[in-house]
Every structure is written in structure tokens, then in C-alpha cells.
Structure 1
Amino acid sequence: MKKNKNEMSFLDHLEELRWHLIRSFSAIFIIACVIFVFITPIYDHFLIVHLDGEFITYKIFCNAFQLFGIESNFCALTFDDKLVNLNVTGQFTMAIWTSLVLGLILAFPYILYEAWRFIAPGLNKKERGRSRWFIFYASLLFLVGLLFSYYVIMPMSSYFFYNFTVTDTIKNTITVQSHISLLTNTLLGVSLVFELPLIIYFLSKLGLITPAFLRKYRKHALVVVLILAAIITPPDVASQIVVAIPILILYEFGILISKRVEKNYKKKFKNV
């Protein structure tokens, strides 16, 4: 007979957690295996397309900036012909690493689902219903961040870092490892940044931050965002604005969420 979650011991909970982790890692592994089988077309049509001056993002940015009379570096792109590999096992290990990282990214919604299945028995009926929406919104924000990083930030970063030189006497020779590292770090990092509204929600629920706190440090957040945008984009104002605006919108949305949490808490406390 299966035990009620409320009656389970600490070791029982650890055993339950172990199976959730096993299923999560299994999902990552299975997806990674499928990706590894098709790794060549994935590299050709997904992972290194940012090194093509005809990539759709470059064209859109060039046309958009020209429409508003703004000069942009995206209208004159140049890249080296090929990435290089310096290790005997380099391409093989990168294929495995890439498969695992993409497996993690694609399995993210399922990992959230397994996390929800683990904590759901400890919630009441009302909390359990609300928590289902957490999976949806977290997955949606992760997907939006993924698309934004792939179609906006990665093209900007690729152009800037591939063409930046300290002096003309130094020639860049880019390895496939460094390119894939830039790509995967960007995809994962930005996708997690887009979870900011949910992070603010939970911190507000715990009473660690308030709307007043977020509004007080809005200017500081703006400075941080602009510095971040300046680091990961080409050195022109238009590109930095394109990156900064969505992050600032997420921050402002987080303030609204925190305000709603505070309002509900005060209402609940007043009724008590």
C-alpha cells in the first residue's frame, strides 16, 4: 500500500525525490541521444548560423535601423570562413557536450513538471491549482528568453566578439569550443534571466522584497541592465537599447507582481 505523502518519513521523501531526479535526468539523456544522432544538421542549421551575414536577424536589424535613419554595424557584417578545432577529440566531445546542454534546455518544462509533482502533495487544493500555472508561465518565460537570446543577443554578441580586435597585428582564430560555449552560456543565461518575474514573485511571497524596495532601486537596476547590454552587444546605442528594453520590461512587470502579492497578503491579514 502506497503511503500518504503527509505520513512519509524523511527517508521516504528522499526516495521519492530520487525517482523524480532519475526521471528528469532520463529525459535529458534521451533528448540528448536524439540530438546527437542529428548533430550535423543541428550544427549547420542552428548552432553556427550566426556566422552567416545573411542570418535573418542581421537583415531585420539593418532594415529597421535604416528605416529610422540610424547607422548600424549590422548592415556591413564580416566573419571568418570557418571555426577551427585544435584537439584530436575536440569535435566528438563538443558534439556530446552540445547534445547534453540542448537536452537540458528542451527538457526544462518536463523538469519543472517533475519538481511540481514532488511538492504538489504538500500543497492544499487551492495552492495546487495555482502551482500548475507556475509550470506554464515558467516554461513560457524560458521559451521567450530562449528565442530572444538566439535571435537577438547571440547575433549581436557573435558580430561584436568575432570582429573586436585590440590591434590589427592580432588575428582572431575562433575555435568551435569557444563559439559553442558562447552560444550555450547565452541561451541558458538569458533564458534564466527571463524568469525574473517569477523569482520576484517567490521572493515577495517570502517577504524578502517589496514593491517599495524594487521601486527604490529601479535606477540601480537600470544602470546594471545598461552595463550588461553594453557588454554583450556591439558598441552602438541602437543595439544596446534593443537588449535593455525587454529586461527593463521584465523588471517593471516584476514590480507589478510584487505589488499584487503584497495586496493579497494585506487583504488576507485584514480578514484574519
Structure 2
Amino acid sequence: MSDPQQNQEEGSEETFISHLVELRDRIIRAGIAVVVVFVGLVYWAPDIFRLLARPLMQNLPRDGKMIVTDVTGSFFVPMKVTMLVAFVIALPFVLYQIWAFVAPGLYQHEKKLVAPLVASSYTLFLCGMAFAYFVVFPTIFRVMAHYNAPLGAEMTTDIDNYLSFVLTMFIAFGVTFEVPIVVVLLVRMGVLTVKKLKEIRPYVIVGAFIVAAVVTPPDVFSQLILALPLIVLYEAGIIAARIFVGTGEKKAADESQAAG
């Protein structure tokens, strides 16, 4: 006669192993998707890097150029850029794999929330990257070129250092544009209220300038380019929380009243 407790432990172990197997399969599928996109783009890797470098090249002095200080840099840096572009393109499929893995453990109302949440987060992150590329990079490089001119210093940069800089900016502005999503989620989960968000506004403003001072180059104009959108997006998050969360709470109250 089998022991019920032993059977329960064996069942739990089998469930855990099956989850690990499924997680492995999801990760493999996501990785294959990124690799497939990368292979499709690798032929244009030099063009993709030139596109990434355009904001700097357009603001360098006449005859200005980028340099390579590593023997393999001219090959691996464009490959890195292409792989990152492939990841961004394949990200919806990667997010779907994550969603498919966690969905069975979610309640029905949570499942309804995930799809618009993922779509809006992805869209806002791309908007943040676009803002950095089209607005921030040209502005920063123009300001830096202006600072270098009176010094008689030649403005050149290694392509690997340039890649590190633009990646930092992409992540910083991509995350910054996620602020409305974070604010709505905090209110939705009951961690904060709209009233409390308004009360802590002065601290958020100070925090925005501190973050901007750490992330951006050490000039006031560059810091304002990050701090001001962060503040504006925080206010947009408060408005969105008031609209969506307030509407949801009202709808739930009406349904509860109708059921009673």
C-alpha cells in the first residue's frame, strides 16, 4: 500500500520537473527566434552600425571620424549592434514565451491585464529609444562638439565606447518611458493611491534630476532632456491611473451592487 504523503511528494517533484522542462523549451524557442532574426540581418551589420552612428557622425567636425582601438572591434561591434536589433525585433515573441509559461498560474482578470500591459510596455520602450536616437543623441553630440571646439580638442571616439554610451542611453530612456505603466500598476495593486502620488511629486522631481545627473553627460542641457520627460511621464501616469483604475473600480462597484 502506497503512502499518500510519498505520492504527494512524488507528484510535486514531477510537477516541478515538468515546469523546468517547459521553461527550458520556452527559453530555447525565444533564443532561436532571436538567432533567426540575427541571421537575417547579419549581412547588413555594417549598415546597421552606420545607422546607429549617424547622430554622432552628423555632429562631428569636418573630417571627423570614429576610431577602433581593438583589433577585432570593427568586426564584433557591428555584430553586437545587429544582435541587439534582432533581440528588439524578436522581443514580442520572447514576451509571448514568457506569457505562455506564467499564464496557467494567473487568474482570469490577471490574464486580461497582461496582454495590454505587455503591448503598451513594448511600445513605450520603443518610443523611449526613438526619443533618444532622434532627439537626445543629436543634442548631446552637438553640445559636446561645441565644448570641444574652444579647447582645440579633436572629437573622436572608439566604436566600442560609443556602443556602450548609446546602449546606456537607450536603456535609460526606454525605462523612463515605462514610468506611466509603473504608476498605473502601483495604483492598480493598491500600493499607492493617486492622492499619494500627488503628495510625493516634489520627491519624484528631485529624484528625476538625480537620475539624469547620474546617467547623462555632465551638462545641464543633457540632464534636462532626461529629467523633464521623466517628470512629464510621471504626470501622465497619474492621469492614466485616475482614468483607468478609477473606471475599473467604478465598474467593479456597479457589478457588485447589481449582484446584490
1:30 is aligned to 2:36: yes
Residues 42-87 of structure 1: CA deviation (Å, up to 9, x unaligned): 122x111112447xxxxxxxxxxxxxxxxxxxxxx74761100011
User: What's the counterpart of residue 52 of structure 2?
Assistant: 47
Gaps of 5+ in 2: 1-13
Gaps of 5+ in 1: 1-7, 55-76
3-state SS, counterpart of residue 48 of structure 1: helix
3-state SS, counterpart of residue 99 of structure 1: helix
1:175 is aligned to 2:181: no
Task: Name the CA shift for 1:106/1:186 in 2 (closer, same or farther; >3 Å).
Answer: farther
User: What's the counterpart of residue 9 of structure 1?
Assistant: 15
Q: In the alignment, is the contact (CA less than 8 A) between 1:225 and 1:244 conserved in 2? A: yes
Q: In the alignment, is the contact (CA less than 8 A) between 1:157 and 1:234 conserved in 2? A: no
Task: Name the CA shift for 1:86/1:242 in 2 (closer, same or farther; >3 Å).
Answer: closer
Residue of structure 2 aligned with 1:261, choices 224, 245, 249: 245
**Structure 1 residue 116 displacement after superposition:** 1.8
RMSD: 3.3
User: Highest CA radius of gyration, 1 or 2?
Assistant: 2
Q: CA separation in 1, counterparts of 2:39 and 2:147?
A: 36
1:189 is aligned to 2:172: yes
Residue of structure 1 aligned with 2:69, choices 86, 94, 101: 86
Q: CA separation in 2, counterparts of 1:269 and 1:18?
A: 42
Q: CA separation in 1, counterparts of 2:24 and 2:209?
A: 42
1:216 is aligned to 2:206: no
Task: Name the CA shift for 1:149/1:34 in 2 (closer, same or farther; >3 Å).
Answer: same
Q: In the alignment, is the contact (CA less than 8 A) between 1:84 and 1:173 conserved in 2? A: yes
Percent of aligned pairs with the same amino acid: 27
Deviates more, 1:154-163 or 1:226-235: 226-235
How many residue pairs match? The answer is: 241
User: What's the counterpart of residue 86 of structure 2?
Assistant: 103
**Structure 1 residue 177 displacement after superposition:** 0.8
**Structure 1 residue 243 displacement after superposition:** 4.6
The answer to which structure has the higher helix fraction is 2
Residues 14-61 of structure 1: CA deviation (Å, up to 9, x unaligned): 2222222222222222222333221122122x111112447xxxxxxx
Q: TM-score, normalising length from structure 1? A: 0.73
User: What's the counterpart of residue 66 of structure 1?
Assistant: none
User: What's the counterpart of residue 64 of structure 1?
Assistant: none
Q: CA separation in 2, counterparts of 1:14 and 1:265?
A: 37
Q: CA separation in 1, counterparts of 2:159 and 2:177?
A: 27
Q: TM-score, normalising length from structure 2? A: 0.76
Q: CA separation in 2, counterparts of 1:242 and 1:95?
A: 28
Q: CA separation in 2, counterparts of 1:102 and 1:181?
A: 15
Q: CA separation in 1, counterparts of 2:67 and 2:103?
A: 48
